[in-house]
Amino acid sequence: MRALLQRVSAASVTVDGEVIGQIGPGLLILVCAMQGDTTANAESLAAKVAKCRIFKDEAGKMNRALLDTGGEALVVSQFTLSADTRSGNRPGFSTAARPEEGETLYEHFADQLRAQGITTAQGRFGADMKVALVNDGPVTIWMEV
């Protein structure tokens, strides 16, 4: 699985003009299941995200994790993270998991964050979403398991 983490002061996702998920300080997590991914990948990624030390400590160093800060997570599915841009001008997305598998793994990933005690909001899988965020730092991290 792949994820793009953005440390945020606030973030929200809107579908058809309705805000369906929003958070305060924490992480906006764009996530993509790849072909061959399993629930074990989703669990591993969720554990890694929860423990990723990208929040400032008292000395101003990035030394605290989402679990340490009590921050929230907004999880948004984004199959375009599978983009293959090695040739031509049009990205290919054939390495993304099929939609039904992708949705199952996306939901499992979000559930795993909740199981660790992280308040987690979500977008809607497969929907045309509008994502708003205030990137804090900015800090943006790419993860893959």
Q: For this structure, is 22 an active site residue?
A: no
The domain of 44 spans: 2-137
Confidence at residue 46, expressed as pLDDT on a 0 to 100 scale? 98
- Structurally, the chain folds into a number of domains equal to 1
pLDDT for 34-53, tens place per residue? Answer: 999 999 999 999 999 999 99
Confidence at residue 41, expressed as pLDDT on a 0 to 100 scale? 98
Q: What are the residue ranges in the chain where pLDDT is below 50?
A: none
Confidence at residue 38, expressed as pLDDT on a 0 to 100 scale? 98
Question: 145 lies in a domain?
Answer: no
Confidence at residue 18, expressed as pLDDT on a 0 to 100 scale? 98
Question: 143 lies in a domain?
Answer: no
Question: 144 lies in a domain?
Answer: no
Catalytic residue among 35, 38, 39, 80: 80
Question: 142 lies in a domain?
Answer: no
Catalytic residue among 6, 78, 120, 122: 78
Q: Can the peptide bond before residue 138 be classed as cis, meaning omega within 30 degrees of 0?
A: yes
Confidence at residue 37, expressed as pLDDT on a 0 to 100 scale? 98
Alpha-carbon distance values, 104 to 23, 98, 112 (Å)? 23, 10, 12
CA distance 95 to 92: 8
Catalytic residue among 6, 55, 79, 120: 79
Confidence at residue 129, expressed as pLDDT on a 0 to 100 scale? 98
Question: 41 lies in a domain?
Answer: yes
Confidence at residue 26, expressed as pLDDT on a 0 to 100 scale? 98
Q: For this structure, is 104 an active site residue?
A: no
Looking up residue 62, the CATH number of its domain turns out to be 3.50.80.10
Question: 111 lies in a domain?
Answer: yes
Q: For this structure, is 78 an active site residue?
A: yes
Confidence at residue 11, expressed as pLDDT on a 0 to 100 scale? 98
CA distance 125 to 114: 18
